[in-house]
Amino acid sequence: MTMSSRPAITRFDQPEAPGSIDHPRPDRLEQGNPRRETWTLYESADGLMSSGIWACEVGRWRIAFPLGKEEYFFVLEGHVRLHDQAGHAVDVLAGQGAVIPGGFEGAFEVISPVRKHFVVVDRPA
Protein backbone atom coordinates (compact mmCIF):
# COMPACT_ATOMS: atom_id res chain seq x y z
CA MET A 1 0.00 0.00 0.00
CA THR A 2 1.46 3.34 -0.96
CA MET A 3 1.33 6.35 1.32
CA SER A 4 -1.33 8.05 -0.83
CA SER A 5 -3.67 5.01 -0.79
CA ARG A 6 -3.80 4.69 3.00
CA PRO A 7 -7.04 5.57 4.71
CA ALA A 8 -7.12 9.13 6.01
CA ILE A 9 -8.52 10.46 9.27
CA THR A 10 -11.72 12.47 8.84
CA ARG A 11 -12.26 15.42 11.16
CA PHE A 12 -15.79 16.62 11.82
CA ASP A 13 -15.37 20.31 11.07
CA GLN A 14 -18.61 22.08 10.19
CA PRO A 15 -18.67 22.32 6.37
CA GLU A 16 -19.16 25.75 4.83
CA ALA A 17 -21.38 24.34 2.07
CA PRO A 18 -25.03 23.56 2.83
CA GLY A 19 -25.91 19.99 3.68
CA SER A 20 -28.64 17.77 2.30
CA ILE A 21 -32.08 19.14 3.31
CA ASP A 22 -35.12 17.00 4.03
CA HIS A 23 -38.20 16.70 6.26
CA PRO A 24 -39.76 13.69 7.99
CA ARG A 25 -42.11 11.66 5.85
CA PRO A 26 -45.66 13.06 6.16
CA ASP A 27 -47.04 9.69 7.29
CA ARG A 28 -44.59 9.69 10.25
CA LEU A 29 -45.08 13.27 11.45
CA GLU A 30 -46.53 13.79 14.92
CA GLN A 31 -45.65 17.49 15.52
CA GLY A 32 -44.46 20.23 13.18
CA ASN A 33 -42.62 19.63 9.92
CA PRO A 34 -39.00 20.21 10.93
CA ARG A 35 -36.30 21.04 8.43
CA ARG A 36 -33.41 18.58 8.77
CA GLU A 37 -29.93 19.16 7.36
CA THR A 38 -27.32 16.40 7.03
CA TRP A 39 -23.64 16.64 6.22
CA THR A 40 -22.30 13.13 5.58
CA LEU A 41 -18.58 13.49 6.20
CA TYR A 42 -17.51 9.84 6.01
CA GLU A 43 -18.81 6.63 4.46
CA SER A 44 -17.04 3.29 4.80
CA ALA A 45 -15.84 1.59 1.62
CA ASP A 46 -18.31 -1.27 2.18
CA GLY A 47 -21.21 1.17 2.65
CA LEU A 48 -22.12 -0.25 6.06
CA MET A 49 -21.22 2.86 8.09
CA SER A 50 -21.79 6.57 7.63
CA SER A 51 -21.09 9.49 9.92
CA GLY A 52 -21.31 13.25 9.96
CA ILE A 53 -23.23 16.20 11.34
CA TRP A 54 -27.01 16.54 11.55
CA ALA A 55 -29.11 19.58 12.47
CA CYS A 56 -32.86 19.80 12.96
CA GLU A 57 -35.63 22.21 13.95
CA VAL A 58 -38.23 21.49 16.64
CA GLY A 59 -40.68 18.68 15.82
CA ARG A 60 -41.56 15.03 16.40
CA TRP A 61 -41.88 11.99 14.11
CA ARG A 62 -42.08 8.21 14.39
CA ILE A 63 -38.96 6.13 13.75
CA ALA A 64 -38.49 2.39 13.17
CA PHE A 65 -34.94 1.04 12.96
CA PRO A 66 -34.44 -2.30 11.19
CA LEU A 67 -32.60 -4.93 13.26
CA GLY A 68 -29.28 -4.36 11.47
CA LYS A 69 -29.30 -0.56 11.82
CA GLU A 70 -27.86 1.21 14.88
CA GLU A 71 -26.97 4.83 15.51
CA TYR A 72 -24.66 6.45 18.03
CA PHE A 73 -25.03 10.22 18.31
CA PHE A 74 -23.56 13.01 20.42
CA VAL A 75 -25.57 16.20 20.90
CA LEU A 76 -23.45 19.31 20.33
CA GLU A 77 -26.29 21.75 20.98
CA GLY A 78 -29.99 21.47 21.68
CA HIS A 79 -32.22 18.82 23.24
CA VAL A 80 -33.74 15.63 21.85
CA ARG A 81 -36.13 13.16 23.43
CA LEU A 82 -36.54 9.56 22.28
CA HIS A 83 -39.87 7.89 23.07
CA ASP A 84 -40.25 4.11 23.02
CA GLN A 85 -43.49 2.28 22.28
CA ALA A 86 -44.05 1.55 25.98
CA GLY A 87 -44.28 5.28 26.73
CA HIS A 88 -40.82 5.74 28.27
CA ALA A 89 -38.72 8.71 27.17
CA VAL A 90 -34.99 9.43 27.28
CA ASP A 91 -33.72 13.01 27.08
CA VAL A 92 -30.36 13.69 25.46
CA LEU A 93 -28.95 17.18 25.97
CA ALA A 94 -25.91 19.07 24.67
CA GLY A 95 -22.79 17.28 25.91
CA GLN A 96 -24.50 13.87 26.04
CA GLY A 97 -24.53 10.89 23.68
CA ALA A 98 -26.87 7.95 23.13
CA VAL A 99 -27.36 4.83 21.02
CA ILE A 100 -30.52 3.96 19.12
CA PRO A 101 -30.38 0.15 18.89
CA GLY A 102 -31.45 -2.00 15.98
CA GLY A 103 -35.14 -2.86 16.15
CA PHE A 104 -36.05 0.31 18.08
CA GLU A 105 -39.50 1.72 17.32
CA GLY A 106 -40.87 4.90 18.78
CA ALA A 107 -40.61 8.63 18.20
CA PHE A 108 -37.76 11.11 17.79
CA GLU A 109 -38.56 14.53 19.22
CA VAL A 110 -36.48 17.68 18.92
CA ILE A 111 -37.31 19.82 21.97
CA SER A 112 -34.93 22.67 21.05
CA PRO A 113 -33.02 23.03 17.76
CA VAL A 114 -30.34 20.36 17.68
CA ARG A 115 -26.96 19.80 16.09
CA LYS A 116 -25.32 16.43 16.58
CA HIS A 117 -22.54 14.18 15.38
CA PHE A 118 -23.84 10.80 14.20
CA VAL A 119 -22.47 7.37 13.35
CA VAL A 120 -24.87 4.95 11.66
CA VAL A 121 -24.04 1.28 11.15
CA ASP A 122 -26.41 -0.42 8.72
CA ARG A 123 -25.56 -4.07 8.15
CA PRO A 124 -27.73 -6.83 6.75
CA ALA A 125 -29.91 -8.31 9.52
Q: What is the pLDDT of residues 25-34, one digit of tens each?
A: 999 999 999 9
Q: Would residue 22 count as lying in a domain?
A: no
Q: Would residue 5 count as lying in a domain?
A: no
Question: For 2-55, what is the HEC assignment?
Answer: CHHHCCCCCCCCCCCCCCEEECCCHHHEEECCCCEEEEEEEECCCCCEEEEEEE
pLDDT band at 1 (very low <50, low <70, confident <90, very high): very low
Q: Which domain holds residue 36?
A: 29-122
Number of domains in the chain: 1
Domain of 39: which CATH number?
A: 2.60.120.10
pTM above 0.75, yes or no: yes
Mean pLDDT score, 31-40? 98
Q: Would residue 68 count as lying in a domain?
A: yes
